[in-house]
Amino acid sequence: MTVERTVTIVPEAGLHARPASAFVQAVNDHEAEVSAGRPDGDLVQAASMIAVTSLGVGQGDDIKLVADGPDAEAVLDELERILTTPEEELDTDDG
């Protein structure tokens, strides 16, 4: 199942620093292939920190997420939560 969603980024840091590491971690914790990118641009592997960093998406920018796999819906829910939670309220589960 392939699902797609576009989310506007809330954390002040953008998709960078803690939000970025929570994002990549969440992708790696789910059974789904996820790609991400600007709505009008190329998509990159969301499981790779350097790829996510290369997008350079900041606060207020839109990001398109495409997920494929058994956890597709769940991973997009989690990614949306990370991208729409102000950084200071983000509780990251690094364990």
Partner 1 sequence: MTDAISADDIEELIPADHISLSEPPAEKEACIESLLDLLVDGGRVENRERALEALLERESETTTGVGMGIGIPHAKTDAVSRPSLAFVRSQEGVDFGSMDGEPATLIFMILVPETGGEEHLNILSSLSRALMHDDVRDRLHEAEDEATVQDALREAIA
Active centre residues (catalytic): 16
8 binds partner 1 (CB under 8 A): no
Q: Which is nearer to partner 1, 39 or 56 (CB)?
A: 56
- Convert residues 42-81 into a mask of x (bound to partner 1 by CB under 8 A) and - (unbound): ------xxxx-xxxxxx--x--------------------
In the DSSP assignment, the letter for residue 31 is S
Cα–Cα dist 51/35, whole Å: 10
Nearest to 83 by CA among 1, 4, 22, 2: 22
Residue showing tokens 């398109």: 64
Residues of this chain that interact with partner 1 (CB under 8 A) are 14, 16-18, 20-21, 24-25, 28, 48-51, 53-58, 61
